[in-house]
Amino acid sequence: MKYFYLFILLNFISFSFASNSLHNGTVKGIVYDEKSNAPIYNARVIIISLNKMTYTDELGFFQFDDIEAGDYNIEVSYLGYENNTSMVAIIDHQTSPIRIDLKQKNLALAEVTISANALENKSFLSAIDLQLRPINTSQDVLKMVPGLFIAQHAGGGKAEQIFLRGFDIDHGTDIALFVDGIPVNMVSHAHGQGYADLHFLIPETIDKVSFSKGPFDPKIGNFATAGQVEFKTKSRLDKNLVSLELGKFNSQRVTSLFKLLNSKDQHIYAALDFNHSDGYFKSPQDYRRFNGLLKYNAKVSDHHYVTGSISGFTSSWDASGQIPERAVQSGIIDRFGSIDDTEGGLTSRYNASIQLNSNLSNNDFFKNQFYYSKYRFELYSNFTFFLEDSLNGDQIKQKENRDLFGYKSEYSRIYSFGSLTWNATIGVQWRLDATNNSELSHTKDRIETLNQLAYGDIEESNYGLYTDQSFHFGTQWSGNIGLRYDHFNFIYRNKLTSEYDKLLINKHILSPKLNLNYKLNSLISLNAHAGYGFHSNDTRVNFGQTNRDILPKALGLDFGVHLKPMKSVLLTATLWQLNLDQEFVYVGDAAIVEPSGKTTRHGVEVSLRYQIARALYFDTDINYTKARAIGEAKGQDYIPLAAKWSSIGGITLENKKGFNGSIRYRYLGDRSANEDHSIIAKGYVVFDALLNYTKNNWEIGISVQNLLNTNWKEAQFETESRLQNESESVTEIHFTPGTPLFLKSHLTIFF
Q: Mind giving me the DSSP string for 627-646? A: EEETTSPTTS-BPTT--SEE
Give the side-chain half-sphere CA count within 13 A for 460.
21
User: How far apart, in whole angstroms, are the C-alpha atoms of residue 428 and residue 88?
Assistant: 37
What was the pLDDT predicted at 487?
97
User: How far apart, in whole angstroms, are the C-alpha atoms of residue 106 and residue 209?
Assistant: 19
Q: Reduce the DSSP state of residue 666 to 3 states and report it.
A: strand
Domains, the chain = 2-105 (2.60.40.1120), 194-750 (2.40.170.20)
- Rounded mean pLDDT for each run of 10 residues along the chain, 751 residues in total: 58 57 78 87 88 85 87 89 90 89 84 74 68 68 82 83 87 93 96 92 90 94 94 92 96 97 93 96 95 95 92 96 94 94 96 94 88 97 94 96 98 81 93 97 95 95 96 88 96 90 91 95 93 92 66 94 92 95 61 73 95 92 94 90 92 90 94 93 95 94 95 93 94 95 96 95
Asked if 494 and 532 touch (Cβ cutoff 8 Å), the reply is: no
Element (H, E) at 407: strand 396-417
Burial class (CB in 10 A: 0-12, 13-18, 19+), 736: buried
Asked if 626 and 603 touch (Cβ cutoff 8 Å), the reply is: yes
pLDDT digits (tens, 9 = 90+) for 281-292: 999 999 999 999
| Terminal Cα distance for the chain, rounded | 58
| Nearest one of 460, 478, 462, 459 to 470, comparing CA atoms | 478
Cross-strand partners of 309: 295, 353
Burial class (CB in 10 A: 0-12, 13-18, 19+), 477: middle
Q: Dihedral through CA 162, CA 163, CA 167, CA 168, nearest 10?
A: 60
Q: CB atoms < 10 A from the CB of 690, how many?
A: 22
Residues 443, 395, 275, CA angle at the centre, nearest 5°? 100
User: How far apart, in whole angstroms, are the C-alpha atoms of residue 498 and residue 222?
Assistant: 34
Asked if 303 and 328 touch (Cβ cutoff 8 Å), the reply is: no
pLDDT digits (tens, 9 = 90+) for 517-539: 999 988 899 999 999 999 998 88
What was the pLDDT predicted at 740?
96
